[in-house]
Amino acid sequence: MNKHKSIGKELATPYIMDNSEELLCRFGGIPALKQSWQSVGVERALQLANVHYGQANDKAGDMSFLLVSAPFVDAPSHRKVTQRFGGEASALETDPLLAEQTEESISQRTLNRFVNTDRYDWLQVQAARVQQMQQLPGYKTNRKGVVIVDDWPMIKAFASAMPYLSPVWDNNLKCSLPGYAIVHLHYYHPYLKSYSLGMYPWLKKSLTGEKKSKRQARRPAREDEEKSKLDIALLLIDRLLSGLNFAALLFDSWYTARWFGQELTNRGNTWIGDADTKQKFEVGGRYLDVPQIYARYSAQLQRVPGQKRSVKAISLPAVIRPDRYTKVPQKVQLVLVTGLHKPRDKDKGYKVLVCNRRHYRIQRIVRLFTYRPKIEAVHRHGKQEAGWLDFHNRSVQALLCHLTFCMFRCDCLDWLQQAVPAACGFSPKQFIDHCLKATVRLIRRAGRWRACLKPNHPLWSFFIQPKFIHHRQFHSIVKVQ
């Protein structure tokens, strides 16, 4: 911690330069972020999804970089970020280093039209992004990785003008507030790169006047019906997981529905879910719910090899009986397990895991399901540091655009942080504060910029690369003792 504080203090020290044409810039790491933006292929993904803006010059690339870098330049709104990059006249907000990062100045009106238009299919952009990530070294999906399905709340307590607002549970305040539930697919591998695959909001149309569906979660939604979180998760799986290698789909009890599991099985996917206490299964010729299964078989629990000593489990072949919507019985394997986590409020201390592969061993099912909580850390990092909650527009298209560039932003930040050896011990917040928001001096001589950096700057190796020193950005980059 002392090391991080000393580096931040040194980067904030004013540089002593004997030159009258020098400028102070507070975001010295953003040009390096621009290089990572190019490396992860954001512009290429937009081209694959046919996202273009403008006739003479395509401004989609510049506007995408503004949206990616907005939280890192202290710009919570479109007006603020366009001021930072010189698109709106403001002597106090414009940064000379940021103004050199775009081909043309982008105004607030232009940026608003880009994010609010309905010409673009943002799910197609997310699919193109996944395609680009597969081509990067270390980011290709592996058959030992898993895809975690979950949702996170975007609370908008005072945004009454936004469409499709619905009550969303806030775990911090322990109450329901207006907002959006964002369905999220995340790829996780214990030893390789992990990254998000897609996001899509749950839009509860029944609260805005449409006819409310009475089907609940018993069958898929038709075209004229409101889509549930299960329908959205299935849509993301169909659009984004084609051709990817992974071991299984993981989800909690909310997504462990009868028809959802059958749809995944019909698509050839392996899935592992957490059964709800009210769900019933046919086990040993009896029709039992989860508490009854625990009461009947808890005495037969045995220690699971490869897990903590407190983890004990037993495998039970079972059948999910059909109903009026899902008319085919499903053969599944139940794993009654205890000791995976400490007992919490309203938690019995045990779980019944449901897997559609009866030949899987208990060790494998339990090991794969222990990866599911990893997505909670991703949600915490995204909401606290990567600007996932910084959404202030009203249209649904703007929300889809925002979610798409949230994932691009995390890709750029992760790629840049992994590529800087001097910052290997930094947390994401420390990396943002000490690297991306580092103070630098710019000197202008004969119409060319010269950037002056401290010798111990963590991003020095990026600044001296030939492909980074672009003719319209910098003439040279020098160290300052």
pLDDT of residue 406: 95
Q: How confident is the model at residue 216 (pLDDT cuts 50, 70, 90)?
A: low
Percent of the chain clearing pLDDT 70 (strictly above): 85
Higher pLDDT, 281 or 392: 281
- Work out the number of other CB atoms within 10 angstroms of the CB of residue 123: 18
In a domain, 353, yes or no: yes
pLDDT of residue 217: 62
268's torsion region: left (phi>0), alpha (psi -120 to 50) or beta?
A: left
CA distance 363 to 358: 13
In a domain, 360, yes or no: yes
- Work out the number of other CB atoms within 10 angstroms of the CB of residue 187: 24
- Angle between helical axes of 374-384 and 396-418 (0-180°, round to 10): 100
- What pTM did the predictor assign? 0.88
Contact 451, 95 (CB under 8 A): no
Closest CA to 198 of 95, 99, 124, 132: 124
Q: Is residue 368 packed enough to be buried (19+ CB in 10 Å), middle (13-18) or exposed (0-12)?
A: buried
Query: Is the pLDDT reported for residue 367 higher than 50?
Result: yes
CA distance 431 to 418: 11
Q: How confident is the model at residue 157 (pLDDT cuts 50, 70, 90)?
A: confident
Q: In what order do the strands lie in the sheet with 476-479?
A: 22-25, 440-445, 448-453, 476-479
Query: Is the pLDDT reported for residue 12 higher than 60?
Result: no
Mean pLDDT, rounded, for 459-476: 54
Contact 265, 152 (CB under 8 A): no
pLDDT of residue 7: 39
- Angle between helical axes of 229-240 and 258-266 (0-180°, round to 10): 10
At residue 177, what is the residue type?
L
In a domain, 293, yes or no: yes
pLDDT of residue 13: 38
CA distance 292 to 298: 10
User: Which range in 94-108, 288-302, 464-478 is most confidently predicted, on average pLDDT?
Assistant: 288-302
Query: Is the pLDDT reported for residue 309 higher than 90?
Result: no
Name the one residue in this structure whose structure tokens are 């790629």.
415
CA distance 352 to 366: 11
Name the one residue in this structure whose structure tokens are 């709106």.
88
Higher pLDDT, 96 or 432: 432
CA distance 244 to 446: 52
In a domain, 329, yes or no: yes
Q: Rounded to whole angstroms, what are the CA distances from 212 to 75, 208, 227?
A: 39, 10, 11
pLDDT of residue 97: 80
Closest CA to 182 of 150, 151, 148, 226: 151
Higher pLDDT, 57 or 130: 130
pLDDT in tens, 411-457: 999 998 888 877 777 888 888 988 888 877 777 666 666 777 766 77
CA distance 230 to 254: 9
pLDDT of residue 292: 94
Mean pLDDT, rounded, for 345-368: 90
Mean pLDDT, rounded, for 30-46: 90
pLDDT of residue 270: 96
How many separate domains does the chain show? 1
pLDDT of residue 99: 84
pLDDT of residue 251: 94
DSSP 284: T
DSSP structure string for 394-406: -SHHHHHHHHHHH
Percent of the chain clearing pLDDT 90 (strictly above): 53
In a domain, 121, yes or no: no
In a domain, 362, yes or no: yes
Mean pLDDT, rounded, for 398-421: 91
- Angle between helical axes of 396-418 and 122-133 (0-180°, round to 10): 10
Provide the token pair at 416. Answer: 């840049």
Mean pLDDT, rounded, for 198-202: 95
pLDDT of residue 205: 73
Q: How confident is the model at residue 206 (pLDDT cuts 50, 70, 90)?
A: low
Q: Are strands 22-25 and 195-202 parallel, antiparallel or unpaired?
A: unpaired
Provide the token pair at 83. Answer: 């001021």
Give the containing element (helix H, strand E) for 271: strand 271-274
Give the residues across from 287 on adjacent strands: 282
pLDDT of residue 471: 39
Residues 6+ apart with CB under 8 A from 196: 184, 185, 186, 187, 378, 407, 410
Average confidence score pLDDT of the chain: 84
Higher pLDDT, 376 or 463: 376
Closest CA to 251 of 172, 171, 184: 184
At residue 461, what is the residue type?
S
pLDDT of residue 4: 43
Angle at 443 between CA 441 and CA 449, to 5 degrees: 110
Higher pLDDT, 126 or 478: 126
Q: How confident is the model at residue 204 (pLDDT cuts 50, 70, 90)?
A: confident
3-state secondary structure 414-450: HHHHHCCHHHCCCCHHHHHHHHHCCCEEEEEECCEEE
Q: How confident is the model at residue 333 (pLDDT cuts 50, 70, 90)?
A: very high
Mean pLDDT, rounded, for 17-46: 80
pLDDT in tens, 124-137: 999 999 999 999 98
pLDDT of residue 324: 85
pLDDT in tens, 58-87: 899 999 999 999 999 999 899 999 999 988
Domain of residue 293: give its range: 270-366
Query: Is the pLDDT reported for residue 207 higher than 60?
Result: no
Contact 334, 281 (CB under 8 A): yes
In a domain, 299, yes or no: yes
Query: Is the pLDDT reported for residue 341 higher than 90?
Result: no
Provide the token pair at 355. Answer: 């897997």
Contact 459, 438 (CB under 8 A): yes
pLDDT in tens, 219-229: 888 877 888 89
In a domain, 279, yes or no: yes
Contact 175, 149 (CB under 8 A): no
